[in-house]
């Protein structure tokens, strides 16, 4: 799980706190060090080193962002159930190396899997999966296909998760109508006087209302079964094996909850059908590559196997447009609201992120006939 998080200035108080948190988990040996890890927009993630009788071991420590996840206990319950179910599926198909193929929570010494620190912060720890890396942008078709297969298999593996229904850790998370309305509300409030600087982007997003309406029609028709979805299928939520490039494990399970297959394929295509960084400022570079899209479709169908219904397969191009719009609307709404949700790294980044999504959406739309032929061909297999 390697990645390049920003360096931090030394801070003894913070170091002591991180050590105390790490020691609250059932990790054998002596704490050595902790440093920031990964590039998520939501939680704080640390890579922690322990010394276990002369052997260095590594662990992931994560503080759940409780202003985003209001019920962290629900997140923890979902993650525990999902990973346990993945392990059962891995055992059933006799997967080699099963310990690297699903996240493993570490028990807290006080019981359960969460540790609540004296400031009320919610922490959990995972076994680190050695010899793997994440990629913030896709590097080629083989990698895109491998990621898509992993997310497709995630749907298949979770398709028979026993009741009860998982918690909705963020209510209406991918509810396109709600996201559309939130954007319109943020624009009319214009709390930070930013509307004048993004009116074109706003108009362009609001003009896509027909995509929102189409999702509603599909949901109402019953063509899209509710299923346990990952709901955050960015390429950087997959660990790739350093030696083989294989997609070993899907991570970031905080939004694994009821959803549908279109959300997962669409969000994946949003990030992996283009090589452009998520916040690319040169919009001429934000283009869909048909070869990447084809690899995504093939990989996703392969991974999901028989669990997908015909209507889900047929709508993969629509899914890509929909999710690019939905996440674009969220970035734009957050820009208008004063950057309160995504932990951006520089002023204006939310607007850049919104612009790339809108540019990508326009390219998906323009290529619809060609991309749909790819889907049709892959469905016929």
Binding site for ligand GN1 (CB under 6 A): 40-42, 68, 232, 234, 237, 252, 255, 278, 327
Q: How far is the CB of 145 from Mg ion (least distance, A)?
A: 20
Site for Mg ion in 36-65 (CB under 5 A): 40
The residue (of 43 and 204) whose beta carbon lies closer to Mg ion is: 43
* Residue 68 binding target from ligand GN1, Mg ion, none, CB below 5 to 8 Å by type: ligand GN1
Least CB distance from residue 347 to ligand GN1, whole Å?
18
Q: Which x/- pattern, by CB under 5 A, does the window 231-250 give for Mg ion?
A: ------x-------------
Angle formed at CA 100 by CA 96 and CA 103, multiple of 5 degrees: 135
Minimum distance, C-beta of residue 31 to Mg ion, in the bound complex (Å) = 25
**Interface with Mg ion, residue 294, by CB under 5 A:** no
- Residue 91 neighbours by CB under 8 Å, 6+ apart: 98
If contact means CB under 5 to 8 A according to the sort of partner, which of ligand GN1, Mg ion, none does residue 114 touch? none
Nearest one of 310, 317, 250 to 288, comparing CA atoms: 317
Give the CA count within 13 Å in the CB-facing half-sphere of 1.
27
The entry of Mg ion, ligand GN1, none near residue 322 (CB within 5 to 8 angstroms by kind) is none
The CB-of-252 to ligand GN1 minimum distance in angstroms stands at 5
Give Cβ neighbours of residue 50 (< 8 Å, ≥ 6 apart): 22, 27, 28, 29, 30, 31, 32, 56, 57, 58, 59
Which residues, including other chains, have CB under 8 Å from residue 302's CB and lie 6 or more apart? 149, 152
- Give whichever of 232 and 378 is closer to ligand GN1, judged by the CB atom: 232
With contact defined as beta carbons under 8 Å apart, do 288 and 253 qualify? no
> Could you give the CA distance from residue 278 to residue 271 in angstroms, rounded to a whole number?
7
* Shortest distance (Å) from residue 270 CB to ligand GN1: 8
- What residue 327 binds from ligand GN1, Mg ion, none (CB within 5 to 8 A, per partner kind)? ligand GN1
Reduced to 3 states (helix: H, G, I; strand: E, B; else coil), residue 323 is helix
Partner that binds at residue 296, options Mg ion, ligand GN1, none, CB closer than 5 to 8 Å by kind? none
Closest C-alpha among 329, 315, 106, 159 to residue 223: 315
Q: Residue 118 has which token pair?
A: 């004296």
Complex with Mg ion: residue 126 or 180, whichever CB lies closer: 126
Task: Give the shortest CB-316-to-ligand GN1 separation in angstroms.
Answer: 18
Q: Cβ-closest residue to Mg ion?
A: 252
List the beta bridge partners of residue 55.
52
Q: Which residues bind Mg ion (CB under 5 A)?
A: 40, 237, 252
């Amino acid at each position: 799980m390697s990645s390049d998080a920003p360096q931090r200035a030394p801070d003894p108080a913070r170091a002591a706190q991180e050590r105390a948190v790490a020691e609250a988990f059932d990790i054998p040996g002596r704490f050595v060090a902790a440093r920031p890890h990964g590039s998520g927009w939501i939680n704080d993630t640390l890579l922690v080193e322990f010394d276990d009788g002369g052997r260095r071991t590594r662990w992931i420590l994560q503080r759940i962002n409780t202003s985003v996840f209001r019920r962290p206990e629900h997140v923890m319950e979902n993650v525990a159930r999902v990973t346990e179910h993945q392990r059962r599926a891995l055992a059933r198909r006799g997967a080699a190396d099963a310990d690297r193929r699903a996240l493993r929570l570490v028990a807290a010494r006080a019981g359960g899997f969460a540790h609540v620190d004296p400031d009320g912060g919610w922490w959990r720890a995972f076994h680190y999966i050695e010899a793997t890396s994440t990629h913030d942008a896709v590097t080629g078709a083989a990698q895109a296909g491998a990621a898509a297969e992993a997310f497709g298999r995630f749907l298949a593996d979770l398709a028979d998760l026993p009741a009860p229904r998982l918690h909705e850790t963020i209510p209406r998370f991918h509810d396109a109508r709600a996201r559309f309305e939130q954007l319109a509300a943020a624009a009319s409030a214009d709390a930070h006087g930013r509307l004048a600087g993004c009116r074109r982007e706003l108009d362009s997003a609001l003009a896509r209302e027909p995509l929102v309406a189409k999702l509603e029609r599909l949901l109402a028709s019953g063509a899209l079964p509710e299923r346990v979805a990952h709901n955050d299928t960015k390429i950087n939520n997959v660990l790739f094996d350093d030696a083989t490039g294989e997609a070993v494990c899907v991570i970031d399970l905080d939004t694994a909850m009821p959803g549908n297959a279109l959300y997962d394929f669409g969000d994946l295509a949003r990030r992996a059908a283009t090589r452009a960084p998520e916040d690319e400022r040169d919009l001429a570079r934000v283009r869909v590559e048909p070869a990447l899209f084809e690899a995504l479709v093939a990989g996703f169908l392969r991974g999901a196997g028989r669990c997908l219904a015909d209507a889900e397969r047929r709508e993969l191009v629509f899914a890509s447009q929909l999710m690019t719009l939905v996440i674009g609307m969220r970035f734009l709404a957050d820009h208008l609201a004063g950057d309160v949700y995504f932990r951006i790294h520089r002023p204006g980044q939310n607007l850049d992120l919104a612009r790339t999504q809108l540019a990508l959406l326009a390219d998906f739309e323009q290529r619809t006939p060609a991309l749909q032929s790819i889907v049709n061909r892959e469905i016929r297999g």
